[in-house]
Structure 1
Amino acid sequence: MPACYAYARNTATFKTDKQFAAIKAVSLPLGIVTYTMHTENEIGGEDILLALIDQLRANDTLLIADIFILSPRPSRLLALLCEVVGKGVRVVAASLAGEINLPLLRSYTVHFVEMEEKLLAAEAKLIERERLHRIEMDTYASEYEAHLLKLLQKHGVNLLTLVRPANALEGDAPKNPAQGRELREMREKLGLTGEQAGALCQPVIGKSQVSRIESEGSGAAHYENLKYALVTAEVLARYDQTRRAKAIEKAIVRPAQIVEDFAKSRIAS
């Protein structure tokens, strides 16, 4: 026995409640009292429609509010209608106040299909141009960044400080245990405890934070703070060692120099 179905698709300009009313208005004059309603709630979707088309059989009737409810694209619209009508199904559109004449509809929409094909070709061309433009911009950005880094390094700018300020919060950078081990080795070489190393920082940080920095590296807060303090301490320690070495050398050489000076003075007299 032939069945009657109705299909509605939610669109931005044609809400389903208005489609329901239009379908009801066109069905009554045709003597259609009952029909099974199928609604596509997802905008742009057609899963419900395709399932309904599979269900349709010869001599069935499909009610729609407007032909473009099936698809806004002319080519897709014609393809769907050809499939449905090819099954021997009668398609009734409320906007046409009756059954769809497929040959007549095809003659009207064929020009729109050609326009659609040209539009799709132009869109594809535009997408390709945008893709190439993005590649060019990415290449330019990479080259410019490399050039900028070289200029900064040439002028002695501390890039680490620029990337991660000394007062950065935890979690601002990924963990880097290798950097932490480097600071721990530097601290131990200086003979400093964690508490002593933290006291050298400005602002002062606690022993637990020093331990965390030595575990996580630049991933922990105040990494740059501790690094600067230890590097400064290392430089001062080297300077102090050099000064001590010179003082010791001077103390060792001085007695011999005194004897030599005394001998010269005696000869001169």
Structure 2
Amino acid sequence: MTAPLAAAEPNRLALVTGACSGIGRALAEGLAARGHPLVLVSERPAALAEAAAAIREAHGVPVQIVALDLARPEAAAELHAAVRELGLEVDILVNNAGFFFFGETVDADPARASAMLQLHVVTPSLLCTHFGRDMRARGRGHILLVASISAWRDFPGINYYGSSKKYLRGFARALRCELGVHGVNVTCLAPGATATALYSGTSVPVERARRLGVMMDAEVVAEAGLTAMFARRAEHIPGRLTRAMTLAAVLTPQWVIDLLRRHGPWLPRRVDPPRS
């Protein structure tokens, strides 16, 4: 018989953003399997209700839902207030919500770029402020920030995404230093390519990449992240191949990246103006 998963602090309430699908759903499942009651947050009410019902049935833990668009300036304060109105104390904060788009910075839809920066940078930072203050007062807690291996190296085509994840990595390291003396742990999870709906609407062949081992399953990534968090690790990159790819990216000279940009088919090439 498989031993039950151990929780560092049984029955502590966990809040997970972006919990309807992908890594967020897998993180919620992993926390519920450890016995943690949950607050699930997403802007998709129907999918949120479905996820909550499935987790309650599978794991027998209380699950509350808060339907909220986190890509809004007021979102962090509204979420903190909503949780307090429910009479709940969050001891595990999982900042996971995010999305992805590919293309040159100057071609980005400004509204979409603004939403990404709000969702990846502003809202998680302010959630850490609100809930981290509560954790500091209680002298306990965990905060998990989901970044990306793109935080280790700048690449053309993912400038908004990669830069926002680089911010999260740096923010997590400083926050860890600040809160550690108060008994609150902060961990940064940095997955590589993961087979989720994050790539919906792109040309990325998710299923093929998953079969080849280039992409990891969300459940594997989530379990690695929770293990690292409860072990109070500063940051974790799941998967040996992903760690090797990250190291290779870090060691790749900039001129190689520039060469790929000039000759690769992924981004538009310069078109010389017609001669008069």
- Category of TM-score, reference length = shorter chain: 0.3 to 0.5
Structure with larger RCO (C-alpha < 8 A, sep 6+):
2
The structure richer in helix per residue is: 1
- TM-score, length basis structure 2: 0.33
